[in-house]
Amino acid sequence: MKILFDLFPVILFFIAYKMYDIYIATAVAIVATIMQVGYLYARYRKVEKIHLITLALIVILGGATILLQDEAFIAWKPTIVNWGFAAVFLASHYMFGNKPIVRRMMEGLIQMPDQVWMRLSYMWIAFFVFSGVINLWVYYNFSLDAWVNFKLFGLMGLTFAFILIQGLYISRYTQQDETENTPVEANSADTTQTADIKKD
């Protein structure tokens, strides 16, 4: 449900574009994002920074798209968002040392060596940079229809594929931890049995 809620403005943008045009779709996305942020504040009395940043970008770039009648502004929004994430993730390496943002978010769920966390962080940085680049590549090399389809289905598909790859990468180390823990338990049991035999 959270994924659908986060995609709410994008889905409405897609529907409005198919029914009308890019400018009405942009206006719908602006209103939908304002409603989304308003709902979050009304319910939780706080709004995550990502939603506030998204709101600011959609208002600025979407407003420029409508006022200047140039869809390039709204087309740049996914790229700016993704490159912004890449910059924040990279900056966290210097701000938090061996605890980049991805580790701070996931460490409560999984334990991995420091170097693995760093690799995972660089994977996310590369993914964000790639997403920003491919968004512009699609916009400047294909039709507006193709870009709108890619904005919803392509970027979402890339994200799910990357999360799957991340899961497979992480599972290598979680399985390794389980394997390393098993002999310790077995050795403890053997030691106890040996001690019992000696007592007898």
pLDDT tens per residue, range 73-106: 999 999 999 999 999 999 998 887 778 899 888 8
pLDDT at residue 193 in the model: 42
With beta carbons less than 8 A apart as the criterion, state whether 80 and 64 touch: no
State the Cα–Cα distance between residues 157 and 76, nearest whole angstrom.
Answer: 19
57 or 189, higher pLDDT: 57
| SS3 call for 128 | helix
State the Cα–Cα distance between residues 62 and 69, nearest whole angstrom.
Answer: 10
Q: What are the tens digits of pLDDT across the range 42-52?
A: 999 999 888 89
Would you state the structure tokens that stand for residue 46, as one six-digit string? 């706080």
pLDDT at residue 188 in the model: 45
What pTM did the predictor assign? Answer: 0.82
Residue 55: in which H helix or E strand, if any?
helix 49-68
Mean pLDDT for the stretch of residues 133-148: 98
| Residue 184 pLDDT greater than 60, yes or no | no
State the Cα–Cα distance between residues 136 and 171, nearest whole angstrom.
Answer: 33
- Banded model confidence at residue 182, pLDDT cuts 50, 70, 90: very low
With beta carbons less than 8 A apart as the criterion, state whether 5 and 36 touch: yes
Return the closest-CA partner of residue 92 out of 56, 131, 118: 118
